[in-house]
C-alpha cells in the first residue's frame, strides 16, 4: 500500500512526496509505468536528496538551485551507495550551495582527486619488472640482437640447467631489483644493490647499472611512468663508487705472436670455427656481428661483405656497413659448407649457427702460448694497423667504430675501392707476419713468403 502511494505522488509533476529513506522502502520501489520515464522519491530527512527510479535502476540524486537554475547531480547507484553515504554527500553539496559555490564543481574536483589517488596507488605498485618489459618491447626495433639479449639476461631469474657444463644458471644482476616498485628505486636501495653485486661481479654489475640508467631516463619521458620516476637521479655517486671503475682492456695479439696464433687456429678441427676466428681478426668486426653473417650478405662479384651493425642507428641507412672482402677471407668463406642461411653454420645448434667460439679459441691460445678473447681480436685488428700507419678513419669505418672527429663524420666519404686498397694491404702484411701464403687479388694465385 505504501509503495503504491509513493509511486502515485512521486510521479506528479511539481509535487514532492517525502519519506524517511530505509533499505526496505527503497527496495520496494517499483519502476515507472511510462516507458523511458523516471520517478523521484525525496528524503524527508535531508534536503535535496532523492531516489531516482528508472527501468531497472535506482540511484541517489541531489537537487538544488544555483544562480536561479535547477542543479541535479547523481550521487551513486543503489545499493552500491548506502543511505548514510548518500546523505553525507547531499549535506556536502548543500553546504557548497549555502556558501554560494556550484556543487557540480565540487563533484568534478572530488572525482578528479579520486581518479588521481587510484592512479597514484596503481603506479606505486608498478614494479621494475613491469617497466622493464615495456622498455624492452619499445626499444626492441632500435637494438641489435646481442644488445637486446643482454637486457633480457640482466633481469633473468636463473635456475635453468646450463647448456654447457654442470649446474644451473645464476640470476642476472638486476633480478633482485625486479620485484621492487618503481617508486622504491631510491638512491639508498641502489647503493645497497651495488655493494652486494660489486663484491661478486663488478663488471657485469657496471653493465647492469648503465642499462638501468638508460631505462630510468626512458621511463621519465613515458606518460605511464613519469609520475613515479624522476630520471636517473637514483643512481648516485656512492652507488657508482661501490661498483668500482672499469680498467682498460689490454688483451691484444702482438706482431710476433701471429705465426703461433694462426698455426693453432688453422689447426682447429672445426673448419667453421677456424674460419670464423681468422676472419674476426682480419676484418675487425664485433664477434656477434660476424656470427650473424648470412650468405646473402656476401657479394662475390664485387668482393664485399655487408655487416649488420650492433646498433642500427650507428650503421648505414638500414643499420649496416659494407666492407671489402679481402682475398684470404674470401677463400676462407668460399670453403665453408652451405648448410643453411648462415655463413658460420652449425648442424648441432638450435639456431642453425655457432653461438660463440670462446672454448675453441681458449684451446688454440693454450697451444700458441697466448691469451686473447674474441673481442681482443677486434682490438688486435686496430692495434696492428699502427704498424702500417693506416688512416685511423679507414680502420674505424671497416670495424664499425663511430667517427671520432667532425671531419670524419661530415666530410670524408670513402668508397669501397679506397677501403679495399688499405684493407688488402693490411691483410697481406698480417699474413706475411704469420708466414702464410698470400692470395693475390684475383683470389686464385698464391705467392710464397720467404
**In terms of domains, do 270 and 362 share one?**
yes
Identify the pLDDT of residue 234.
80
**In terms of domains, do 32 and 87 share one?**
yes
How many Å apart are CA 162 and CA 169, to the nearest integer? 6
How many Å apart are CA 253 and CA 370, to the nearest integer? 8
Identify the pLDDT of residue 450.
46
Which phi and psi angles does 324 have, rounded to 5°?
-65, 150
Identify the pLDDT of residue 446.
44
Reported confidence tier of residue 243, pLDDT bands at 50, 70, 90: confident
Identify the pLDDT of residue 36.
80
Reported as type and span, the H/E element at residue 341 is none
Q: For 243-267, what is the mean pLDDT? A: 86
Reported confidence tier of residue 310, pLDDT bands at 50, 70, 90: low
DSSP string, 236-265: -HHHHHHH-PPPPP-----GGGHHHHHHHH
**In terms of domains, do 120 and 165 share one?**
no
The verdict on residue 211 lying in a domain is: yes
> Last residue of some domain: 89, 124, 159?
124
Q: Quick check: 280 and 371 in contact, CB under 8 A?
A: no
**In terms of domains, do 201 and 337 share one?**
no
pLDDT per residue as tens digits for the range 373-386: 999 999 999 999 99
**In terms of domains, do 289 and 432 share one?**
yes
Decide if pLDDT at 270 tops 90: yes
Pairing type for strands 39-43 and 18-19 reads parallel
**In terms of domains, do 234 and 269 share one?**
no
Q: Quick check: 309 and 353 in contact, CB under 8 A?
A: no
Any idea which of 98-112, 117-131, 264-278, 322-336 has the lowest mean pLDDT?
117-131
How many Å apart are CA 170 and CA 116, to the nearest integer? 40
pLDDT per residue as tens digits for the range 183-210: 888 889 999 999 999 889 998 999 999 9
Residue written as grid cell 637486446: 148
How many Å apart are CA 372 and CA 254, to the nearest integer? 11
The verdict on residue 248 lying in a domain is: no
Which phi and psi angles does 398 have, rounded to 5°?
-70, -45
Identify the pLDDT of residue 97.
86
> Last residue of some domain: 193, 210, 243?
243
The verdict on residue 229 lying in a domain is: yes
**In terms of domains, do 207 and 86 share one?**
no
pLDDT per residue as tens digits for the range 358-378: 999 999 999 999 999 999 999
Identify the pLDDT of residue 318.
52
Q: Quick check: 423 and 326 in contact, CB under 8 A?
A: yes
The verdict on residue 250 lying in a domain is: no
How many Å apart are CA 344 and CA 284, to the nearest integer? 16
pLDDT per residue as tens digits for the range 5-15: 444 444 433 45
CB proximity list for 136: less than 8 A, separation 6 or greater: 148, 151, 152
> Last residue of some domain: 193, 222, 243?
243
Neighbours of 331 (CB within 10 A): 16
**In terms of domains, do 326 and 271 share one?**
yes
How many Å apart are CA 328 and CA 272, to the nearest integer? 15
Helix (H, G, I), strand (E, B) or coil at 319: coil
Q: What angle do CA 380, 381, 387 make, to 5 degrees?
A: 90
How many Å apart are CA 208 and CA 172, to the nearest integer? 9
Decide if pLDDT at 241 tops 80: yes
**In terms of domains, do 322 and 352 share one?**
yes
Which phi and psi angles does 134 have, rounded to 5°?
-65, -40
Neighbours of 402 (CB within 10 A): 9
The verdict on residue 249 lying in a domain is: no
pLDDT per residue as tens digits for the range 392-421: 889 999 998 776 655 455 446 688 999 999
DSSP letter at 182? G
Residue written as grid cell 647499472: 209
Q: Three-state SS across 82-134?
A: CHHHHHHHHHHHHHHHHCCCCHHHHHHHHHHHHHHHHHHHHHHHCEHHHHHHH
**In terms of domains, do 336 and 237 share one?**
no
Neighbours of 65 (CB within 10 A): 10
Percent with pLDDT over 90 in the chain: 51
For the record, the C-alpha cell of 311 comes out as 646498433
Identify the pLDDT of residue 42.
92
Cα 442 to Cα 35, 327, 438: the distances in Å are 93, 7, 11
For residue 30, give the CATH number of its domain: 3.30.160.390
CB proximity list for 405: less than 8 A, separation 6 or greater: none
How many Å apart are CA 203 and CA 371, to the nearest integer? 19
**In terms of domains, do 309 and 443 share one?**
yes
The verdict on residue 95 lying in a domain is: yes
Neighbours of 168 (CB within 10 A): 10
Q: Quick check: 372 and 380 in contact, CB under 8 A?
A: yes
For the record, the C-alpha cell of 109 comes out as 574536483
Reported as type and span, the H/E element at residue 362 is helix 358-368
Cα 134 to Cα 131, 218, 219, 226, 378: the distances in Å are 5, 10, 10, 14, 34
User: How many structural domains are present in the chain?
Assistant: 3
Owning domain of residue 84: 2-124
DSSP letter at 168? B
Any idea which of 56-65, 227-236, 347-356 has the lowest mean pLDDT?
227-236
What average pLDDT does the structure give for the chain? 85
- Residue that wins the pLDDT comparison between 445 and 18: 18
CB proximity list for 277: less than 8 A, separation 6 or greater: 265, 268, 357, 360, 361, 364, 374, 377
Q: Quick check: 275 and 344 in contact, CB under 8 A?
A: yes
How many Å apart are CA 43 and CA 80, to the nearest integer? 18
DSSP letter at 166? S
**In terms of domains, do 132 and 211 share one?**
yes
Amino acid at each position: 500500500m505504501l509503495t503504491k502511494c509513493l509511486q502515485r505522488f512521486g510521479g506528479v509533476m511539481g509535487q514532492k512526496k517525502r519519506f524517511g529513506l530505509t533499505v526496505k522502502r527503497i527496495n520496494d520501489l517499483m519502476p515507472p509505468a511510462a516507458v523511458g520515464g523516471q520517478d523521484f522519491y525525496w528524503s524527508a530527512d535531508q534536503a535535496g536528496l532523492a531516489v531516482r527510479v528508472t527501468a531497472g535502476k535506482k540511484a541517489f540524486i541531489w537537487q538544488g538551485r544555483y544562480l536561479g537554475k535547477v542543479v541535479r547531480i547523481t550521487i551513486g547507484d543503489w545499493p552500491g551507495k548506502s543511505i548514510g553515504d548518500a546523505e553525507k554527500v547531499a549535506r556536502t553539496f548543500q553546504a557548497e550551495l549555502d556558501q554560494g559555490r556550484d556543487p557540480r564543481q565540487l563533484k568534478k574536483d572530488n572525482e578528479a582527486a579520486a581518479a588521481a589517488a587510484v592512479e597514484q596507488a596503481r603506479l606505486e605498485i608498478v614494479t621494475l619488472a613491469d617497466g622493464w618489459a615495456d622498455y624492452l618491447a619499445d626499444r626492441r626495433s632500435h637494438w641489435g640482437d646481442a644488445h637486446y639479449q643482454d637486457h633480457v639476461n640482466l633481469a633473468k631469474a636463473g635456475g635453468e640447467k646450463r647448456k654447457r657444463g654442470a649446474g644451473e644458471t645464476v640470476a642476472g644482476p638486476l633480478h633482485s631489483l625486479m620485484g621492487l616498485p618503481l617508486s622504491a628505486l631510491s638512491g639508498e636501495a641502489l647503493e645497497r644493490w651495488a655493494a652486494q653485486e660489486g663484491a661478486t661481479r663488478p663488471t657485469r654489475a657496471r653493465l647492469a647499472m648503465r642499462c638501468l640508467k638508460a631505462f630510468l631516463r626512458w621511463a621519465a619521458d613515458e606518460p605511464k611512468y613519469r609520475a613515479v620516476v624522476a630520471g636517473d637521479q637514483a643512481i648516485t655517486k656512492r652507488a657508482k663508487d661501490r661498483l668500482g671503475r672499469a680498467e682498460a682492456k689490454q688483451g691484444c695479439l702482438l706482431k710476433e705472436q701471429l705465426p703461433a696464433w694462426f698455426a693453432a687456429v688453422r689447426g682447429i678441427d672445426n673448419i667453421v670455427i677456424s674460419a670464423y676466428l681468422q676472419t674476426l681478426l682480419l676484418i675487425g668486426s664485433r664477434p656477434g656481428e660476424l656470427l650473424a653473417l648470412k650468405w646473402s650478405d656476401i657479394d662475390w662479384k664485387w668482393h664485399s661483405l655487408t655487416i649488420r651493425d650492433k646498433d642500427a642507428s650507428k650503421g648505414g641507412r638500414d643499420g649496416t656497413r659494407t666492407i671489402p672482402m679481402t682475398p684470404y677471407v674470401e677463400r676462407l668463406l668460399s670453403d665453408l659448407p652451405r648448410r643453411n642461411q648462415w655463413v658460420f653454420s652449425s648442424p648441432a645448434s638450435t639456431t642453425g649457427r655457432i653461438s660463440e667460439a670462446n672454448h675453441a679459441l681458449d684451446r688454440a691460445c693454450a697451444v700458441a702460448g697466448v691469451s686473447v678473447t674474441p673481442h681482443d681480436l677486434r682490438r688486435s685488428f686496430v692495434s696492428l694497423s699502427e704498424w702500417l700507419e693506416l688512416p685511423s678513419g679507414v680502420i674505424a669505418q671497416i670495424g664499425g667504430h663511430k667517427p671520432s672527429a667532425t671531419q670524419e663524420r661530415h666530410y670524408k666519404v670513402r668508397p669501397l675501392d679506397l677501403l679495399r686498397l688499405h684493407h688488402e694491404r693490411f691483410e697481406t702484411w698480417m699474413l706475411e707476419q704469420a708466414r702464410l701464403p698470400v692470395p693475390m687479388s684475383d683470389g686464385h694465385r698464391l705467392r710464397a713468403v720467404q
